[in-house]
Structure 1
């Protein structure tokens, strides 16, 4: 299924504690607050932002990706406080092969509370449903234990080490490939494991 962008009806997702919504230009200061933090950016594949203009540019990239039907990126809002705490979404969407790669980050004050797992559950449901994905991929730094834990809780399987896979922060980085297949999720649901 192709996401319709003619009317620009951006899909809004909700969990018990979170709202996943369109990222808007007024979110630039929140994006900058998160993306300028070295600890958050350590495993993101880029240096921390140095200006609000970089946040505006990133929002434009996220929105263009959606408009051009190449991916989707949500703002993660903590319902209770109506606070922007991160982003999550899909990129590298390959329709021919029904696969996409997911990515995400959270502000440090949101770490360790199970919020990313909550967002991932909704994202995965959306990916296999509305996007018609067969395979969801994630590449992650081997040192990023928190992200690996989140992926494994969702049923992602490590497929191997991709040596020198990406040029991040002026050096070639090894990354782990994780993947989740639709048929495996459906099988787990049948067995009552999810």
Structure 2
């Protein structure tokens, strides 16, 4: 298990992206993503309305890392040097070696293969650094793109969780997906 108190925030580089710590200076980019209704309808919260909300979310992400409860990277597009989304782990249960994976992208970044690129490296990170045995994802049944991305990485659909979460003032059904370490084929 990692001890984040003695660890600098890890950066991960892919061909087109850099996964890096999200800083308060990135609040405008975070607000641009998290204020979009089309993106937020699958995130489980209402769109942000202020820069302060973005700053608070960044603080939450960073506190989760410092407190060893998870990790959330900013997804930086190398060629434009701009944050196009976030990704990482939350609901980390160290006793049972499992965590929930999550991600989102700005709409102008959809359909370009960035999530595929991101998932490969953060799944590796989860198994190799966080010592996970199980990676979970809960997804809205209507979020076909995310479901496809998870299945393409080897995640298995476990079933429908009826009224599993109270998001946006409504009980929401979510689908549970999982990927076990023994089934991960490093790509």
C-alpha contact 1:17 1:80 (8 A) present in aligned 2: yes
C-alpha contact 1:74 1:87 (8 A) present in aligned 2: yes
Aligned counterpart, 2:12: 13
C-alpha contact 1:100 1:135 (8 A) present in aligned 2: yes
Q: How does 1:78-89 map to 2 (within 5 A)?
A: 78-89=77-88
Equivalent-residue separation in structure 2 for 1:3 and 1:111 (angstroms): 34
Equivalent-residue separation in structure 1 for 2:16 and 2:118 (angstroms): 9
Q: How does 1:112-131 map to 2 (within 5 A)?
A: 112-131=111-130
C-alpha contact 1:3 1:131 (8 A) present in aligned 2: no
Q: What secondary structure is seen at the aligned counterpart in 2 of 1:29?
A: helix
Shift of 1:3: 3.6
Shift of 1:42: 1.0
Deviations 1:1-49 (A, max 9, x none): 214323x500100110100000001000000000000011110000000
Q: How does 1:1-194 map to 2 (within 5 A)?
A: 1-6=1-6, 8-185=7-184, 188=185, 194=187
Q: Which runs of 5+ in 1 are unaligned?
A: none
TM-score (norm 2): 0.98
Misfit runs of 4+, over 4 Å: none
Aligned length: 187
C-alpha contact 1:142 1:176 (8 A) present in aligned 2: yes
Shift of 1:83: 1.1
Equivalent-residue separation in structure 2 for 1:174 and 1:65 (angstroms): 26
Equivalent-residue separation in structure 2 for 1:161 and 1:24 (angstroms): 36
Equivalent-residue separation in structure 2 for 1:51 and 1:167 (angstroms): 23
Q: Which runs of 5+ in 2 are unaligned?
A: none
C-alpha contact 1:3 1:130 (8 A) present in aligned 2: no
C-alpha contact 2:71 2:90 (8 A) present in aligned 1: yes
C-alpha contact 1:70 1:91 (8 A) present in aligned 2: yes
TM-score (norm 1): 0.94
The Cα RMSD (Å) is 0.9
